Amino acid sequence: MQLKPFLIAEATRLGFLRARVASVHAPVDMSHYDAFLAAGWHGEMDWLATSRDARAEVARLLPGARSVLTMAFDYTRALPPDPGGLTGRVASYAWGRDYHNFVTKRVRRLQRSLNRSFPGVDSYAAVDSRPVYERAWAARAGLGFTGRNAFQILPGDTCSFFIATLFVVAEMEPDAPLGDHCGACRRCVDACPTQAILPSGGLIANQCISYLTIEHESAVPRALRPKLGRWVFGCDVCQDVCPHQSQRRLPPEETLPTNAWLNLPELVVMPDDALAARFVGSPIRRAAGERIRRNAAYALGNLHDAAALPSLEVARREGGLVADAAEWAIDHVRGRE
């Protein structure tokens, strides 16, 4: 079998929704990336700037690379019923296990199959945490198109998928990129609570709820706190309103949304070690600790429910970032903010 059909068949067998190929002979266009950095929209994510050159030059990652296989791993699922009360919401990609682990394991298996069947064909794999401009390579390969909300979107299917990339030192016939399928649609622009999506397309990341609840390490600007709503970790708004988003459910092994909704009074006072244990194997552990308690306090404030006051009073005694968030939330609940 030739390399391309072999890799696509293996990727499908390993659970990837779709796989496409692009040539790496020409570098990806970094103009949007550079403009994003120049505007400071990356906020505290300094690693986006320090890894810029590696993202621009594949040869730094895999000398002799000629092609890239881009793969979509679906996490589309319906939101479990809202339990109401003092609960906060988590972005759907983080409901279950950490994708860095389980998607990377599948790509490693793909590499092992490649090594057995095509010895001598070197490869380099990445799933989000390596300096690869995944979305640009996916767009070139026709693995969806880059939507106005900066997500890759499979037209008429989903915009909820992880991207995995596998660079190889071999030629493969490239697939064609897709054209724009957003058209005049502005649903994501209009729905974004913090106006983080540009009407022309692109994201002001340091204004995005996902950034603010996960990556932002200091206090969230006061003007943005009410706009966080009940979000404790991430945000799904721009995906939920996308007309291309389906409500297809995942295979059984991935349908364990244990963290879709979180108990906020419990979360806001939970010690660091208990939080770390609570979110073992979850992407939420990235922010577990002070940031999660801060987010829980903001969410409690936005619920305007006096039942939140006892736990907020406890959190206010912690000091630092959490105390500031709890103080704001108490004032918000009492109508003083």
Single out the residue of 226, 186, 14, 4 nearest to residue 110, CA to CA.
Answer: 14
- Residues acting as catalytic residues: 128
Q: Where are the alpha helices (DSSP H) in 195-319?
A: 209-214, 237-240, 264-268, 272-278, 290-303, 309-316
Please state whether 328 falls in left (phi above 0), alpha (psi between -120 and 50) or beta.
alpha
At CA 314, angle to CA 312 and CA 320, rounded to 5?
A: 85
DSSP secondary structure of 56-85: H-GGGTSTT--EEEEEEEE---PPPPP--S
Q: Residue 295's closest CA among 239, 236, 234? A: 234
Q: Within its chain, how far is the Cα of 326 from the centroid?
A: 27
Closest CA to 209 of 245, 242, 189, 233: 233
Residue 61, C-beta contacts closer than 8 angstroms, at least 6 positions apart: 54, 124, 126, 130, 131, 132, 167
Q: Which two tokens stand for residue 292?
A: 């999660």
Are residues 324 and 251 in contact, defined by beta-carbon separation less than 8 angstroms?
no
